[in-house]
């Protein structure tokens, strides 16, 4: 066959010379400048210079690097109410917010756990009664946003230093079974001289119930003959906290 038919697809044709063209400049997404400005404000003014949603944005920058995180942060705050409540929310509810997948939800819980560990470090081994504000901060970070009741015991030595912090029982949304003998038994095992009882009200209202007061008195009556003091029973809620001793209930 002829040369023309052998090259009907143009394999041997001379290709036109293409001159190199300048690459169009790559524009940064609009939120990059916003991120830089937000970081600068944080460095200059510290965390108190930023509202909750902007502080949450700073966290999300690293967790979701190529997305505008401002609407996600605002949606989280709108859903849960505050940064503390976002970090306290269970992963399943976090994932209901558009833009939050399983990985980011777990990352937020890791941040929450880190904050709780730091707060615990502020009170461990110290004289608890003289660092009451730090103790309350720790209890609030650990329990205020739990969806079920937890009964926590802080075991103290003779100098009221924290020996151990344990969740003894986890119950339902409005009840936790507590056994005074088990509380005292564990205190004896740890050689504790005193305890502080703590539990949360998922409803948000920290007001002690009649059952809370009666249960506390039972623990006091069981512990006292064995030389174990009950310094207080603190109830933690989203709306604040209540001290039974402060309310003169024990």
* Pick from 86, 93, 134, 80: nearest CA to 111: 86
Write out the H or E segment, with its range, that includes residue 169. Answer: strand 162-170
Q: Which residues pair with 155 in a beta bridge?
A: 164, 195
Q: What angle do CA 91, 236, 248 make, to 5 degrees?
A: 170
Q: Sign of dihedral through CA atoms 70, 74, 75, 80?
A: positive
Q: For 79-101, what is each residue's pLDDT tens digit?
A: 988 888 888 888 999 999 999 99
135 against 196, higher pLDDT: 196
pLDDT per position as a tens digit, 55-69: 999 889 889 888 888
Q: Over the chain, what is the mean pLDDT? A: 83
Single pTM value for the model:
0.67
Cα 66 to Cα 219: distance, rounded to the nearest angstrom: 54
197 by Cβ neighbours in 10 Å (0-12 / 13-18 / 19+) ranks as buried
Q: Tell me how long the chain is.
A: 250
């Amino acid at each position: 066959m002829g040369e023309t038919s052998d090259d009907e697809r143009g394999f041997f044709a001379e290709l036109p010379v293409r001159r190199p063209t300048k690459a169009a400049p790559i524009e940064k997404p609009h939120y990059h400048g916003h991120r830089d400005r937000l970081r600068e404000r944080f460095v200059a003014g510290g965390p108190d210079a930023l509202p909750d949603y902007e502080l949450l944005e700073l966290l999300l920058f690293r967790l979701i690097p190529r997305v505008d995180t401002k609407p996600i942060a605002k949606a989280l705050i709108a859903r849960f109410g505050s940064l503390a409540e976002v970090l306290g929310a269970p992963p399943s509810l976090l994932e209901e917010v558009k833009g939050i997948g399983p990985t980011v939800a777990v990352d937020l819980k890791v941040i929450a756990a880190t904050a709780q560990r730091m707060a615990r470090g502020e009170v461990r081994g110290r004289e608890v009664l003289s660092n009451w504000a730090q103790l309350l901060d720790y209890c609030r970070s650990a329990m205020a946003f739990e969806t079920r009741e937890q009964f926590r015991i802080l075991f103290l030595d003779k100098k009221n230093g924290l020996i151990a912090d344990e969740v003894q029982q986890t119950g339902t949304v409005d009840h936790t079974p507590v056994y005074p003998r088990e509380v005292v038994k564990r205190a004896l095992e740890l050689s504790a001289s005193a305890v502080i009882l703590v539990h949360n009200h998922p409803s948000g209202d920290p007001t002690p119930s009649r059952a809370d007061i009666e249960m506390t008195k039972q623990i006091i009556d069981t512990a006292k003959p064995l030389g174990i003091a009950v310094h207080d029973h603190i109830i933690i809620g989203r709306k604040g906290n209540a001290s039974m001793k402060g309310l003169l209930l024990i």
